[in-house]
Copies of this chain bind each other. A is one copy, B any other.
């Protein structure tokens, strides 16, 4: 593992860093997930987003079951080292397990969180 890669990151008390995925072509923010030092190193090595699933407590190669892989274009670290920003190509144009392009599909308007993005594919057909 490249020491320079992980040494600059400020890992939280759980040993994780937040990682934001942004569509490199449209600029749409797709999701936020978490990485371990191992998943960050694999993300660089494999040039695809590899997160750490807190619920499953396991490496999570985004798209491993859905096919909705995120190909890596660029990765950036913020000023205090506790958040990563990934520029990706989202295979299938669907990042969210609900079948939407982005996980950020609920918009606050008129006093409610309202779903504001269409479901592009039935989740049952994804997983």
Contacts and interface: CB of A to CB of B under 8 A. Distances in A.
Nearest to A84: B104
A31 B78 contact: yes
B2 A18 contact: no
A56 B94 CA distance: 38
Interface string A83-125: 1010000000000111010011111100111001000000000
Interface residues of A, number: 38
Nearest to A98: B79
B107 A74 contact: yes
A39 to B, nearest CB: 14
A76 B116 contact: yes
B4 A112 contact: yes
A75 B29 contact: no
